[in-house]
Structure 1
Amino acid sequence: MPDLPSELRQLNDHIAALENSRGQLPDDVVDTAIAAIRAQLQTIVQAAHAVAVTGNNYGNINTGLIIQQASKPGAGKGELRRAYLARILNQANQLALFAGDSANTQIRLSSVYTALLTQHGEWDARLANESGDDKLRTGRNGARQSVLDRFNAERKLVLLGGPGSGKSTFINFVALCMAGEMLGSTSVNLDMLTAPIPPEPDSTDDKPKTQQWDRGALLPVPVVLRDFASDLPGNAAVNAATLWQHIEKRLHQSALGDFAPYLKQELLESGGLILLDGLDEVPDPEARREQIKQAVRDFADTFDKCRFLATSRTYAYTRQDWKLHEFAEAALLPFSPGQIQRFVDAWYAHMSELSRLSENDAKGRAELLKRTIAHNDRLAELAERPLLLTLIARLHTERGGALPEKREELYAQAVELLLNQWESLKVSYKPDGSKQIEPSLSEWLNASRDDIRRELDKLAFEAHRDQADLLGTADIRQDKLVMALWNATPNKTGINLKLLEEYLRDRAGLLAGHGVGLYQFPHRTFQEYMAACHLTVDGFPDQLSRLLCVDPTRWREATLLAAAKVMRGTPEAVWSLADALCPCDEPPTHGQAKESDCWGALLAGQVLWETGLAEPSPDTASRNEQKRQRVRRWLQAIAERGWLPTVDRAIAGGTLSVLGDGRDLEKLVAIPAGEFWMGDDGMDDSKPRHRVTLPAFKIGQYPVTNGQYRRFAQATQRTWDSPDADKPEKRNHPAVNVTWHDALAYCAWLTVEWRKAGKIGAGETVTLPSEAEWERAAAGMEGLAFPWGSDWREDCANTSESGIGDTSAVGIFPLGVSSDACLDIAGNVWEWTRSLWGKDFMKPDFKYPYRPGDPEREDLQSGDEIRRVVRGGSWDDSQGHARCAVRYWSLPDSRYLSRYFGFRVVLLCSAPVL
């Protein structure tokens, strides 16, 4: 009789050789040959009472050989234990994301796992919303902590999270590392388990700490509670023995029944890890809930030397009575930027290991994907969920290292992948460990994929329409989902609805179970996108226009995505939508416009921007150019007259920038000569309050914008390192990332340009304002605390209280206008002046009272070590900094914090003091 390990090794070598021949032989030939060899392997191993798991290598460990040795008659405890661990090692490492993954190209958990984080200390269930703990994203109630650290501190722990958050992945990874450590693997072991959590991009810690696990290697016992529930005895009482009988049964089905008494003995005497996956994901949960909970509690009491880890979806655990007494709770946090970057690096390194890419190509693609995610807020939000990050990485890999530039196309391809994962053939395992292929949903329903998709789009629309809370994704009742799919099949009499419910329960992808009898899309983005798809075929564009004008917050994203989708067909459909959204030719010249008209105009502008039709083009038909101009006029009115809430008005201002801001942004306002009150007795650096007399001058009504400064930088070839420089939506925002020298150079250039154009005379000079001129323009003759009056008022300035969180288009705060018609002189950006502060940042060398004409205070030739005064506050500062008398400073050549610094110009009738 041939030596069993030797014979199996030879067959495995044949399989490896066939895999290497792909590209030289057709895939169907290779697949047929490999399937025949694997069938032979199965026959040989079963004949020897072995478990059919072939030789996967984990450093110095070959699990196939271990299991083969245990198959010999009379195998001892040690051999059986090693076979048990080898089986866990193989199964836990499988991460078959798609049914088509072959054994040699399958993504391995050990290669891509990224350490998960939770909240340090007790978490607040009230913060966890129904879409999977979104409000825990920032970890704002305490420091972040690795899930492993938390498990190390708790003997009994329930790990909570939404679908795709990494719960089952963590259980499998713990089992994998424990099994590898006990088998003596040099690659998969406790060192891998406790590897440091990924550092954040801005971290300065060059020696990150390992995660904590001081419990040693513990024998893992994974239990899928869905399978356990199927073994429960009706309504009979259950106890620890019930769960143990299930574990023992699974061992017998895996040809490891002889190990059962040894396993039980070790768990009772030495302890182990009982890993309970899917507490709430059991069939017939209402009937099984108390049985499952009782069995787990009793088992934990009996096997009191073991540690227990269970997983559950957050909603079900906190709201559907799944709580386990005496079990601590930990809620998974979404991926941080550091975790995202670590996963991407690991993913592409694994692509190189699988020989799908060269090492250099893999590293280059990883850098591209990390950069793409970091610079795309919408993509970064999706990437916070491990399932969706894996989806993004898969798309990026399959597209040759690129993602669609347009987000609608990205969502379309992502939805198709998720639908494929949810709907297509599925590989599962029978109780004896052998694979089985479940039919696709379209085969199961005998319905076309297009019909299924159409019904799901309609379901997404109805869920989005009826969702009470606009945060996260809607709950979709199981009966609604089942009926939607039932509607897709032409042979309704052949569908068993109860079996359809069970079929859907075990599926994940486009829709996943959220709680008992509840489903959700994996992210609100996909719900909105599929709702948009439905709206492009049902009453477009009129129904969408009506919905938007009634409830703009709910339908904004769906409107933009619908526009982008129809743009792929014909631009005329987009122009029709813009026309439906903004039908009124002119905004009213007096009074308040109707809110629905304002929302319609704003979304019409965003629709044109989203689809690339916003900017003037000679290819635009005259009738459509008229529509574009109509939208532009409405957006200008919204910006100038403050017709929408602050944040939405800021969006209108940016959209106006793309369509073309028709305002005179170089306009100067005249400040008459005279005396005014300067300073504030309540501020050390601004006292005493005193009278100052100034000659007449003119000052910019607005700060200098990006569009204006860009023309200067191009004309003079001056370096301007600003992230806003080329953004069309920020052409009418204040120019930032300019030093004091940059601002003064702009003024000198503008002086020449305006003189050449005849706009100013030879005796007039454009320069920066002195701080006295700036304060006179801001505070008026009476020296007001704020440009608009003595007290702070909402919606008067872009400060941190506004909620905008960035610069905004100039002039969108009409209520904040000064008595001399200056806008944005409080908030938005700190503004450079030509006045000196001094060398000491703690206190000014140039104190009050201010004396006009002082040759030193406005010396333009002073060295760069002497700080210059800036005024007005910024979008990142609180209201107190927006007071007219507040003085701040910066070094004239410094770019530190320069994203908060801009300037406006003054026109003087004679040159400023040198």
Structure 2
Amino acid sequence: MMYARFFMTFLVALCMAANTAGVAYGEQGERKVGGQVAENAGAPVVQNVLRERAVTRESGLPESHEDTAEKNFLDYVPAAALVALLVGVGIPIYRRWEKKHKDRLQEKRYRSSLHEELCWIRMPGLPGGIESIQVNLDDDTFVQLRFSESSSEGEPSMSDDLLKQRNELSAERLPHEIIQRAFTSNRRLLLVLGDPGAGKTTLLQYYALCALDQKRYRKLGFTKPPKVFYLPLRELTNHGSTLPENLSQHAKKWYQQDIDSRIIDKWLQNETVTSLVLLDGLDEISDTVKRQEACKWIDRILTGFQHVHIVVTSRRTGYGREDALKPQVVLTSDHKRASVQDFSREQQELFLKNWFNAAFLREERPDNVDEKIWKEQQLAKAKNRSDRIIAVLKEEKHKALRQLAAVPMILQLMALLWKNNEFLPGSRMELYHSVLNYMLELRDKQKEIDSQLSAERARKVLAPVALWMQEELKQDEADKQLMQKQMQQWLDTLVDRQYVPPTADDFCDHLVLRAGLLAKIGESRYVFRHKSFREYLASIELVKKTLRSTCYIDTLISSFGDPWWNEPMRFFIAQTDAVQFDCFMDKLVASVGEEEFSPDKMPLLYTLIEEAPQKKVQALSERLLAEATTASCQRVILDCLNAIGQPIALETLQSFVNLKRAKNSSVASRAEEVMLALLPAAGVTSSSGSAADAHSENSGSYRNRFEQYAEYIRIPGGSFRYSVTGGIENVSELRVARYPVTNKRYRAFISYLQSRKPEDEALNKFYRKVLGEIARDHTWDSGFSDYYHKGSKDLAGLFRSKLDEDRKFGGDDHPVVGVTWYAAKGYCLWLSLLESEGRERQLYRLPTDLEWEFAAAGEEGRNYPWGNEEPTPQRANFNENIGATTPVENYPEGATPEGLYDMAGNVWEWTNSWYDEVKKESFSLRGGSWLNLSANLSCSARIFVNPVSRNYGFGFRVVRPSHLL
């Protein structure tokens, strides 16, 4: 405004000068026209002065000396023209300056609103003053997330140059590294996938704040401060509208700023400044078709705005192919994809320390306490509280809680409950139940404030409304009037002679202002602050509906695998009893026809089984024995019985085998495997004396009783063209493990190393002695000596998988990952010594690179283990179709003709060969992993890494030479 006043003053001065000049001209001009005042006098002021001069002459008064002055330029320029010139030039300049000034002010206000909106982690229901914790790396409130990084859709397969980077495509990254690597060359799109509560929105907030900060924008790889824009994709209702139009609507709705879309378009089109557009929650567009349209909309943005860089977030289940009958939800533009990983143990502890510090420092300080002393006291309280919850989570009995605590949002809810009540729930369901009780009622009770509705009554209103949004609206926000109308009908059911509930309007105000469960969008809409709270409430109503009629379960089954229903289904199953569970499982497996059950659905199925509080196998058992049951249905039932793990199923399985009901050899083998897996739970042990005593129906295979009956498949010897040398190579017959080593089997190895049983002590000592000899003699390689001596005092700790407790990778039947080449060798050595009672070291070993390729490709030289057809999500776990490893038995369509599973995808497998026999620096890995593109699943694909690498994409498979049987 100071500049505006200066400019106006300058214009006024110019006009006054022009007026003065016009007076002089008027006097000269009047003599020329015989005393008439010129009609084109420049301004009213000039006209007035001329009239006054004319009156002076008529009165006989002497004229000014200017009358006789020498003519100059002004004698020939009319005063009006001069003023018009000054005004015509000055006003447009001023207007242009004013417009630019207004644009700058408008952009400044937008940036300020954006900063204010995004600089807080808004966690609903936190006690006064803590519901917003500032995201600021300077004070470590924000804990850096970890990412796995995979190739984009358009990125080529790995070349030798990429391989030399130690398999960087699957390395862990931090937020600033991910965005720097994403925005390289001509690529301007980053897709971030993550589970519910993983911190995707918080990540976008962090990116926005860094970009808005003059000191931190370079951290993201920008050379100049970028323009920043944020848009929740659930607000994208019209895919024909432009990005500027949507940003304009969002600014009006959330920031009460009326910014013309043309101005935003101008900001985005600026060639000198990069724009960073943050698009949150692709998965919150519930309809698959509309979600794919949103992907096309994003692709068009990149085409239309050449200086725009985009980050998109989505739940993992909202991206990719959901169903063969539905369109594939993918971004076709060149992009980098990254997945948010769970908090590690160290991250959990750092988060808790930071959270409690922030929480206690935001409490109100008493007036009579010195600020410095008060701060020291609060930090001491915070340390005490965080140390105690960390200690509780470390207890062995709380392993399940530690896995829950790996999810940032869940961990924050735990911190809230611990701060107020020093209470930790035993399950995810209990956690949400407890937090909602606190939000809806207990917090007000602690402050002696009367709640409008008890938590119990509030659920009776909110649950049907949440399910209405789930089933009918299919979105997390609703029109204010529609939501209040839905609420009012349920509030009316609470009326009795002793109680009158609040109106829907008052109840909504309470949910926004006090409970923090809802948020207002402008004046006309409501949204649940966090999607998972609405999903939890919807599940409460689902349970009620299925209790009224089991037919309603059919509705759930029809939605099984639909990402929009995954979380409500998880919450639902966690509230069922044994009868409901039995009914649900029966209807689910009945829906499996002749087609194979999609592997994409298996992780959800395993999760439902794991989280069900009560389980019953009656319906599954009856359907398994039914003659009409298809092979694919039999397979799913066997997988379910294995996951449930109840010994009562053994009788059914035995009948299934005796009656020869298996529709194919794969199903028969699986039935045998499930039986053997259930034997220990039934207290049954085998009396077999050797590894070869437990035979399978499959000719040439055997089950190793020393390895929880792991099955080994006979691969006859032969010759084939080896991709590494290009020549024909001969391979001897050997037995190859049907699957990679699983977590369950690897944990038995770790438990043995920790065993203090007298019967294990002698072999344990001998095992350590042998390892010492191998380290001393460099039998494996020269690096093992240093590796061994650093951890020889704790072999279990040295060899343990770093992802043993990770909820995504730690499932019993998932392949073990996060183990070094040395650990894989150690497992094989342990198996050999265990079976031979210390006499043999090479009964079991890793396959050579040559052996592995021969087992995968066969004599005919298949491109892929199953044949020459390209990989599909039904054949293998790759390209983050699932987002983590899967149980080893999930992909029967991808097995080799001999019956080897997971030779492509899921995990890279260590081999016993150098990648380069001359340099001998690193060992070869084969098979590709859940992270990699299809080209890396070919039988010839190989990579190399250092033997101490412990990546979440590296596992191993064991072989046994046939001549040693």
Decide which of 532, 536, 540 is 1:529's aligned counterpart. 536
2:886 is the counterpart of 1:886: no
Match of 1:874 in 2: 929
Decide which of 145, 167, 175 is 2:210's aligned counterpart. 145
Decide which of 332, 348, 358 is 1:346's aligned counterpart. 358
After superposition, give the CA deviation of every residue in 1:165-215 in whole Å (9 maximum; x if it has no partner): xxxxxxxxxxxxxxxxxxxxxxxxxxxxxxxxxxxxxxxxxxxxxxxxxxx
2:482 is the counterpart of 1:479: yes
Total equivalences in the alignment: 582
Provide closer, same or farther for how the CA distance between residues 96 and 353 of structure 1 changes in structure 2, counting only shifts above 3 A: farther
**Displacement of 1:544 after TM fit?**
5.1
2:419 is the counterpart of 1:397: yes
- 2 CA distance for matches of 1:583 and 1:610? 17
| One-letter amino acid matched to 1:416 | N
- 2 CA distance for matches of 1:786 and 1:714? 36
2:721 is the counterpart of 1:678: yes
- 1 CA distance for matches of 2:638 and 2:617? 24
- 1 CA distance for matches of 2:747 and 2:227? 61
Structure 1 contact 707–732 (Cα < 8 Å) conserved: yes
2:850 is the counterpart of 1:732: no
Write the mapping of 1:282-361 to structure 2, written as runs, cut at 5 A: 342-348=354-360, 353=375, 358=381, 360-361=383-384
- 2 CA distance for matches of 1:494 and 1:821? 64
Decide which of 746, 750, 763 is 1:709's aligned counterpart. 746
- 2 CA distance for matches of 1:391 and 1:538? 28
What is the SS of the residue equivalent to 1:454?
Answer: helix
**Displacement of 1:509 after TM fit?**
1.2
Decide which of 444, 452, 461 is 2:467's aligned counterpart. 461
Match of 1:551 in 2: 559
2:963 is the counterpart of 1:909: yes
Provide closer, same or farther for how the CA distance between residues 577 and 377 of structure 1 changes in structure 2, counting only shifts above 3 A: same
- 1 CA distance for matches of 2:730 and 2:575? 61
Match of 1:564 in 2: 574
2:873 is the counterpart of 1:792: no
More divergent stretch after superposition (867-876 vs 503-512):
503-512
Instruction: Name the TM-score, length of structure 1 as normaliser.
Output: 0.51
**Displacement of 1:411 after TM fit?**
0.2
After superposition, give the CA deviation of every residue in 1:111-158 in whole Å (9 maximum; x if it has no partner): 99878999999x99x999xx9999766549978626555999999999
**Displacement of 1:576 after TM fit?**
0.7
| One-letter amino acid matched to 2:812 | R
What is the SS of the residue equivalent to 1:810?
Answer: coil
- 2 CA distance for matches of 1:408 and 1:810? 28
**Displacement of 1:278 after TM fit?**
11
Write the mapping of 1:359-378 to structure 2, written as runs, cut at 5 A: 360-365=383-388
| One-letter amino acid matched to 1:346 | A
- 2 CA distance for matches of 1:96 and 1:703? 42
Match of 2:432 in 1: 411
2:831 is the counterpart of 1:750: yes
| One-letter amino acid matched to 1:610 | E
After superposition, give the CA deviation of every residue in 1:451-479 in whole Å (9 maximum; x if it has no partner): 3431211111211112335xxx2435433
Select the structure of larger CA radius of gyration: 2
| Unaligned residue ranges in structure 1 (runs of 5+) | 1-92, 164-276, 283-288, 298-312, 316-327, 428-436, 443-447, 567-573, 615-623, 681-685, 838-842, 847-864
- 1 CA distance for matches of 2:900 and 2:532? 41
Decide which of 512, 516, 519 is 2:526's aligned counterpart. 519
What is the SS of the residue equivalent to 1:583?
Answer: helix
- 2 CA distance for matches of 1:887 and 1:506? 58
**Displacement of 1:539 after TM fit?**
4.0
Structure 2 contact 594–632 (Cα < 8 Å) conserved: no
What is the SS of the residue equivalent to 2:897?
Answer: coil
Write the mapping of 1:85-484 to structure 2, written as runs, cut at 5 A: 138-139=203-204, 145=210, 147=212, 149=214, 280=253, 342-348=354-360, 353=375, 358=381, 360-365=383-388, 383=409, 392-400=414-422, 402-420=423-441, 440-442=451-453, 450-468=456-474, 473-475=476-478, 477-484=480-487
**Displacement of 1:484 after TM fit?**
1.6
Provide closer, same or farther for how the CA distance between residues 815 and 767 of structure 1 changes in structure 2, counting only shifts above 3 A: same
| Unaligned residue ranges in structure 2 (runs of 5+) | 1-119, 143-174, 218-223, 235-249, 264-278, 282-307, 315-339, 364-373, 648-672, 677-702, 704-708, 755-794
- 2 CA distance for matches of 1:361 and 1:392? 16
- 1 CA distance for matches of 2:813 and 2:928? 19
- 2 CA distance for matches of 1:374 and 1:150? 41
| One-letter amino acid matched to 1:557 | E
Structure 1 contact 798–804 (Cα < 8 Å) conserved: no
Provide closer, same or farther for how the CA distance between residues 876 and 375 of structure 1 changes in structure 2, counting only shifts above 3 A: farther
Provide closer, same or farther for how the CA distance between residues 350 and 404 of structure 1 changes in structure 2, counting only shifts above 3 A: same
What is the SS of the residue equivalent to 2:847?
Answer: coil
Provide closer, same or farther for how the CA distance between residues 777 and 314 of structure 1 changes in structure 2, counting only shifts above 3 A: closer
Match of 1:777 in 2: 855
- 2 CA distance for matches of 1:652 and 1:486? 41
| One-letter amino acid matched to 2:441 | N
Bigger proportion of residues as helix? 2
2:849 is the counterpart of 1:804: no
CA RMSD in angstroms, aligned pairs only: 6.1
- 2 CA distance for matches of 1:710 and 1:701? 18
Structure 1 contact 677–691 (Cα < 8 Å) conserved: yes
- 1 CA distance for matches of 2:590 and 2:280? 48
- 2 CA distance for matches of 1:698 and 1:562? 45
**Displacement of 1:604 after TM fit?**
7.2
Match of 1:509 in 2: 516
2:735 is the counterpart of 1:698: yes
| One-letter amino acid matched to 2:722 | G
Provide closer, same or farther for how the CA distance between residues 366 and 692 of structure 1 changes in structure 2, counting only shifts above 3 A: same
**Displacement of 1:779 after TM fit?**
0.6
Aligned residues with identical type, % of pairs = 20
Structure 1 contact 563–611 (Cα < 8 Å) conserved: yes
After superposition, give the CA deviation of every residue in 1:814-869 in whole Å (9 maximum; x if it has no partner): 222223322111222222333334xxxxx5428xxxxxxxxxxxxxxxxxx75433
- 2 CA distance for matches of 1:716 and 1:139? 44
- 2 CA distance for matches of 1:910 and 1:127? 49
Provide closer, same or farther for how the CA distance between residues 906 and 741 of structure 1 changes in structure 2, counting only shifts above 3 A: same
What is the SS of the residue equivalent to 1:909?
Answer: helix
After superposition, give the CA deviation of every residue in 1:208-252 in whole Å (9 maximum; x if it has no partner): xxxxxxxxxxxxxxxxxxxxxxxxxxxxxxxxxxxxxxxxxxxxx
Structure 2 contact 743–816 (Cα < 8 Å) conserved: yes
